[in-house]
Amino acid sequence: MTSRREFIKKTGLAGAAGASVLAAPAVHTQSTIKWRLQTYAGPALAEHVIKPSIDAFNKVANGEMEIELYFADQLVPTSELFRAMQKGTIDAVQSDDDSIASPTEVSVFGGYFPFATRYSLDVPVLFSQWGLAEIWESEYDKVEGVKWLSAGAWDPCHFATKEPINSLADLEGKRVFTFPTAGRFLTRFGVVPVTLPWEDIEVAVQTGELDGIAWSGITEDYTVGWADVTDYFLTNNISGAWCGSYFANEEKWNALPEHLQELFKLCMDSSHYYRQHWYWGGEAKLRTEGTKMQLTSIPDEEWATVEAEARKFWDEIAAESEVKAQVVQILKDYNAAMGKAGRPYRYG
């Protein structure tokens, strides 16, 4: 039989050093990095807007890191997410700047900024090619403890209501669950914005506390159960896409090894891509094949007054600060360019 000494010689190992290499088992002293990430979305919606990417991250991280996913208001209320992340109570967030009460100049543009976009692809183009990413990075660099990571698009903003909306007059007095900036704009048409925990919305519509919802497109209405408690879907929308982002506690982000940072970035991109096709296909399919809500529309000539009012709203926002004015100018320039480009970028 081959002796242990002969084996060591043949493999090129020598003396005590070789013996120690053979004898010592592999020891993993580094413990798994654990993060807690809370999304704006409830469980049913999170199954699409974030969970696949987090599941993939945990699988590929191979024990080096694990992200625990929490749903809307599960650890802290959505409106307190920014402060909780800043303090390190939670490690990361998926939401829009507006809903989490971001103290930055750009928070008003998160969520649904009225008529800023026509299609979901507008959002990544604005961030990647028209300079919004640099502005967001600059603004969050001014805030201690929070790192802005990436923005992407979600669904358009439509009304789902108990009563039909066929004209602007029908919006008068309607109590509607919506986003802060969208609500601020919609008050111009008599809408009464209402803030409630996400999980309470379905019951609030059933009890009459809410008359409707202006928080999503038809895909979410079906996915989260709102199509079961509302009867009408207004095809007019005040924005072509919701703008949401990923954020992290700055200290926790900086402490990650570079390869885990890159892995997280890849999974964010995967999440953004999944939503692009899930929402785009879902909006069309459920409008044409859905059976739970009747479609209504406000005539184009009447809806044009809403779009005109949005431009006034833009100018009011721009007057509030230099940064806001810079973002508004980019939105104006971008939409003008899309209009000149014509089909398929803009119709009419």
**What CATH number has the domain bearing residue 224?**
3.40.190.170
Same-domain status, 178 and 310: yes
Q: Which of 254, 270, 285 is the last residue of a domain?
A: 285
Could you report the per-residue pLDDT of 162-196, keeping only the tens digit for each? 999 999 999 999 999 999 999 999 999 999 999 99
Q: Are residues 323 and 212 in the same domain?
A: yes
Q: Are residues 279 and 182 in the same domain?
A: no
pLDDT score of 59 more than 70: yes
Q: Is the pLDDT of residue 139 over 80?
A: yes
3-class DSSP state of 262 = helix
| DSSP count for the chain of H helices, then E strands | 14, 11
100 within some domain:
yes
Quickly list DSSP for 156-191.
-EEEEESS---SGGGGTT-EEEE-HHHHHHHGGGT-
Q: Within this chain, do residues 148 and 297 fall inside the same structural domain, yes or no?
A: no
Give me 278's structure tokens.
């899930």
Query: In this structure, is residue 186 part of a structural domain?
Result: yes
Stretch among 18-32, 77-91, 142-156, 310-324 having the lowest mean pLDDT = 18-32
Q: Within a domain: residue 1?
A: no
Say if residues 162 and 228 touch (Cβ distance below 8 Å).
no
In a domain, 3, yes or no: no
Peptide bond connecting 344 to the previous residue in cis, omega within 30 degrees of 0 = yes
Residue 281 lies in a domain: yes
Count the domains in the chain.
Answer: 2
Kindly report whether the global pTM for this prediction surpasses the value 0.85. yes
The verdict on 215 and 329 lying in the same domain is: yes
Instruction: Based on the fold, state whether residues 112 and 222 are members of the same structural domain.
Output: no
In 1-80, which ranges are continuous DSSP H helix?
4-10, 15-23, 43-49, 51-60
For residue 20, tell me if it sits in a domain.
no
Per-residue pLDDT at 34: 98
Same domain, yes or no: 203 and 302: yes
Give the mean model confidence (pLDDT) for residues 35-57.
97
297 and 183 in one domain? yes
Domain check: are 37 and 113 in the same one? Answer: yes
Q: Are 104 and 81 contained in the same domain?
A: yes
Domain that holds residue 320: 157-240+292-341
pLDDT in tens, 220-278: 999 999 999 999 999 999 999 999 999 999 999 999 999 999 999 999 999 999 999 99
Q: DSSP secondary structure string, 244-272?
A: EEEEEEHHHHHHS-HHHHHHHHHHHHHHH
Shared domain check, 183 and 112: no
Q: Is 251 part of any domain?
A: yes
Give pLDDT, residue 348. 64
- Using a pLDDT cut of 70, give the percent of the chain over it: 91
In a shared domain, residues 317 and 198 = yes
Give the pLDDT score at 18.
41
- pLDDT score at 12: 45
Which residues, in sequence order, are bridge partners of residue 69? 37
Taking 50 as the threshold, does the pLDDT of residue 73 lie above it? yes
| Residues constituting the chain | 348
On whether residue 205 sits in a domain, the answer given is: yes
Contact indicator for 65, 97 with CB cutoff of 8 Å: no
Residue 224: half-sphere exposure toward Cβ, Cα within 13 Å: 26
